[in-house]
Structure 1
Amino acid sequence: MTHRTQLNQAEEHLRRSRENLPVAAQLLYAVADLLVDAQPAEPVTNRVAGLAFTYAGLAVLAQYPQAVQDAALDRALAVVPEARPSETGGEWALRLRAAAGSVR
């Protein structure tokens, strides 16, 4: 088995395990994933955070009715930690994932 095949299997397992989470938690995990993929070592800015939420929303929320989208976004935003000055995307992603665990 190649390294890429193992990675694909791990990614698929992670994706399936997140399907059972509340939609708000799925959204926060997707935002965290985007931050880690895009700029893990760069400071988080309002622009970067907004783009990550926009793209994660398109990927996660678009499959749900508007009422579910609105409720999930409200629940996610209620637990989002404020980015600290000079906090990197990777650091904030860790805190977003921790916050996702608190969403019910």
Structure 2
Amino acid sequence: RVRFVFDKDAFSLQTKGDEEDALNKPGQNIVVGGDNRWAYSSFVNYEFFPKGFLEKGLPPILVYFKETQTPEDKWGAGPSKASNSEEALKNGAVPGMVHFFPAICDCKQIE
């Protein structure tokens, strides 16, 4: 079982261990490799989808964030390719690696 962990410095993806409170590193990121841990200082933006749900007291479905910690040569993988296109950058997008995860947490708390 996957756990989304928010500590004072970073967000990480971990898996539930055999013991009740044990958490394990899940291994390399399946898209670009590397640890599934991102420092908040590397976040260039984040959003909850659908937009506006959280402000209306409704639970969002997805959490999106873009970070610059992932090596730049990997930013063309997955949805990052479109968000780093020449057109997107021309329209004000900030370069970085895009991530989505299901909003199975208290999004008000992470806002």
TM-score interval for Structure 1 and Structure 2 normalised by the shorter chain: under 0.3
Is the helix fraction higher in 1 or 2?
1
- Could you state the TM-score of these two structures normalised by the residue count of structure 1? 0.28
- Could you state the TM-score of these two structures normalised by the residue count of structure 2? 0.27
Is the strand fraction higher in 1 or 2?
2
Q: Relative contact order (alpha carbons < 8 A, sep ≥ 6): 1 or 2 greater?
A: 1
